[in-house]
Amino acid sequence: MQDKNYKENFLLQFGHNLGKIRQSKNLSFRSLSQKCDLDYADLNKIEKGKRNITLSTIIELAKGLEIHPRELFDFYFPLQDLKE
Amino acid sequence: MQDKNYKENFLLQFGHNLGKIRQSKNLSFRSLSQKCDLDYADLNKIEKGKRNITLSTIIELAKGLEIHPRELFDFYFPLQDLKE
């Protein structure tokens, strides 16, 4: 349960941060999807924390947003949330 | 082809960086696997760039290494490698 919680929380925070970056670049889901190899409906689900995406998808997002992949992880996530 | 190359390169660099962090913490594959919910044989493959891991696995690695997930992406990866 605890295990599920911190993973879900991490996906939510990842998605929230992705949305912030996308909006800061004035990109719609559709315009971002055209800049990378991802479907715009999937982008929506990623931002909602509903997709457990892979490194391949992370690199596609970075490509579309023209950022280093690291920036996709630049959000607050305290280590204690990882303790079981 | 180009597409495949930058993704493969990214997985390799991710794995290399993971290995550096693991070693800096004096953890063997086996001791790291005991600190997170991952198999030590898989850890070896991730470090070799042979696994396209998910966010769930990334958070497990961060948990085992006691670092923010962002640090797993703290390596040089020039944006031009993402251009097609």
CATH superfamily of the B2-77 domain? lambda repressor-like DNA-binding domains (1.10.260.40)
Nearest to A54 among B54, B63, B79 (CB): B54
Contact B70 A73 (CB under 8 A): yes
Least confident stretch, A28-32, A52-56, B67-71, B75-79: B75-79
C-alpha span between A51 and B44 (Å, rounded): 25
Say yes or no to pLDDT of B78 above 90: no
- Residue corresponding to tokens 């990109």: A27
Among candidate residues A34, A35, A32, A14, the one with its CA nearest the CA of residue A24: A32
Looking at per-residue pLDDT, the higher value among A34 and A84 belongs to: A34
- DSSP one-letter code for A54: B
- The CATH number of the domain covering residues in A2-75: 1.10.260.40
A79:B68 CB<8 A: yes
User: Looking at residue B1, what is its pLDDT?
Assistant: 45
DSSP single-letter state for residue A27: -
DSSP assignment of B3-14: HHHHHHHHHHHH
User: Residue B73: is its pLDDT beyond 60?
Assistant: yes
Integer Cα distance of B46 and B16 in angstroms: 9
Q: Taking CB atoms and an 8 Å limit, are A67 and B79 in contact across chains?
A: yes
Predicted pLDDT at A2 = 60
Tell me which chain A residues have a C-beta less than 8 angstroms from the C-beta of B14: 55
Give ipTM to 2 decimals.
Answer: 0.90
Condensed to tens digits (0 to 9), the pLDDT of residues A8-54 reads 999 999 999 999 999 999 999 999 999 998 999 999 999 999 999 99
Domain ranges of chain B: 2-77
d(CA A11, CA A41): 17
Residues of chain B contacting residue A82, judged by C-beta atoms under 8 Å apart: 59, 62-63, 66
A54 Rama class: left (phi>0) / alpha (psi -120 to 50) / beta = beta
